[in-house]
Each structure stands twice: as structure tokens, then as C-alpha cells.
Amino acid sequence: MFFIKIKVLICFLLLLSGCEFSKYQSTNLKYTHNINIETPNNKYDMLLKKHLDRLFNNQPKKDTNFILKSNISFTSNETLSVSGLNVLQSTKGTVQYSLIDSKSGKILMSGSVVTFPALSSSSSSLYTNDVSLQHIKERLILSSAKKLYLKIKLIMKKLN
């Protein structure tokens, strides 16, 4: 009786691990569409393009099905800290995008993606404030690229 219970337990564990591996393989499918990403030629837009190219896993010599035109801009507002003694900068990133079918030239979707605000530290040094703002913008670019990627991925699933 003891050996039968052990055999049933081993079979159950093998069955469970087999289902787990098949689930892992099915969720990591590669993205099938190749998207040409067009951005203006400034530092932050080029970083956005780089992050989007990594997320979409674009091959450089493959034929493009879609064109994604995007542009990122930042807005900063002054806010008070929790104690109310220091003035902090709250920065938001906004990505304007439009997805165009490269064969027909029709705009499939256009809109904007807004990131959550990021707070910068207050310092008396101008250099520290500038470096802090640059780091915040780079983090907001990464966040907005991920949000835009998920939004475009949902659009592509609706098209298929």
C-alpha cells in the first residue's frame, strides 16, 4: 500500500511539472509583427526608440508591417514635501503616438500615454538638480516605453 501511494505521488508531481512547463512555453511566444519606429532626433526620443526596439524585438532587415510615430515630452510642477519645508519637482512624461499601416497608409490608432509623476530631490546645487532631472526623465522614458508596448500589443491582438 505504501509503494502505491508513492507511485501515485510521483506520477502526480510529474504531471504537475509537465503542465507547468507547457504553460511557461506558451506565454513566452515571440512577437510576430515588425514595427518601424520613427521619432524625432533628440536625446530623449532616441532613448524611447531604443527601448521600444528592444521590447518589440525588431529585426533590422525584416519587412515592416506597421509604422509607429512617437514623440515624448515632459512637464514639471513644483510640489511641497510631506513636511512642507522643501519644494520638490514633480515630473510627468507624455508620449504622443500614432500607429500606421505601412501598406495602406491608414492610421490604425493614435493617442497618448501619460506616466505617473516622479519626484526629484531638492538640493541647493544646480548640478545635482540637473542630474536628478536627467535620471528621472530616463526612468520615465523606460516606464512610458513599457506602457506603450503593452498598448500596441493589445491593438495588434485586436487586429488579428
Select from 74, 41, 40, 39 the least CA-distant residue to 53: 39
69 and 127 inside one domain: yes
Grid-cell match 509583427, residue found = 33
133 and 74 inside one domain: yes
DSSP string across 33-48: --EEEE--SSHHHHHH
CATH number of the domain to which 45 belongs:
3.30.160.150
127 and 140 inside one domain: yes
78 and 9 inside one domain: no
60 and 137 inside one domain: yes
pLDDT tens digits in sequence order for the chain, 160 residues long:
777 888 887 877 777 676 555 545 444 445 467 788 899 999 999 999 999 988 988 776 677 888 999 999 999 888 877 776 777 888 999 999 999 988 888 998 999 999 998 888 777 788 888 888 899 999 999 999 999 999 998 888 887 7
79 and 114 inside one domain: yes
48 and 110 inside one domain: yes
Specify the pTM: 0.74
Q: Please, is 147 exposed, middle or buried when counting C-beta atoms within 10 Å of its C-beta (0-12, 13-18, 19+)?
A: middle
Domain span including residue 20: 1-30
26 and 101 inside one domain: no
Q: Please, is 26 exposed, middle or buried when counting C-beta atoms within 10 Å of its C-beta (0-12, 13-18, 19+)?
A: exposed
9 and 56 inside one domain: no
43 and 105 inside one domain: yes
9 and 49 inside one domain: no
Domain count, the chain: 2
